[in-house]
Structure 1
Amino acid sequence: MEVHIYIGTDSKAPRVQPRKYGYVLACTLKGKLATKQGFKETTGTYNRATLEAITEAVARVVKPSEIHIHTENVLILTMLEENLDRWEQNGYVTTKGEPVANGDLWKQLKEKAGENLLLSEPGKHEYSMWIQEQLKRVTTNC
């Protein structure tokens, strides 16, 4: 099964601050597009918020799948593809012996992904504007 996860956040600023994030999980079931979405608030960096959204969405995938992760956060996608397996083998410690930034979330993501294949899809996506609109609506209703 092929699943697409589309990620958005309300801010790309690098500093730690309150943030909102959202995701859309989409797949085709019995010939029809099925979607689920989620929106939450957190306090952290842009990278942490993106990683939280990915982890939460991946946890909702119940069948073995090829999961395509769509986000503008290229750093997170690069770390996912190039470092996640190595970090797991090294106990979430860098080659310099330092704890991996957001190691708790990387570990959760690896556990929740299980045997699913995670593929990165960088850049804006078809749900980018919709997620931003929903995040603004959530912000104004608080």
Structure 2
Amino acid sequence: MSGSDWTALIGSTEDITDAYTTPPDLNACELHYTQIDERGTSVTLMLETTELPDKPKSARIGREYNTVEIYLRFTGVKGLKIDGWEAGVRDAEIIFTPQGSKGVRVSVEAARSRFSFEASESSLIRTRSYLSGKE
């Protein structure tokens, strides 16, 4: 599944689908954060986009911002495979493949960093907009 139609596979994406006519392409986002929790068998990805909502929530109207963070949590993770891990990797291709009724296979690939896993469930757990100092 391509990076632009991910909301069809990830749960609880209303914050994105209500704010964007077309959701941001995850492959155009920067991967800023990956948390692997072996105790809770979960993986959380935080991505940043400079693609701003075309239908912003009232809380965002009148506020200056140029970046949106997207936090995706995957639970019931199994089969985690890591092949290289380069600190500071930002540009990554993210591929979601449906697995059963609610499951998803996630592959994240960058120049010298690759990891993949299967998750029984997934959800958008948070979005946050802010004014970044990046030019």
Both structures adopt the same fold (TM-score exceeding 0.5): no
TM-score between the two structures when normalised by the length of structure 2? 0.26
Considering fraction of residues, name the structure with more helix. 1
Considering fraction of residues, name the structure with more strand. 2
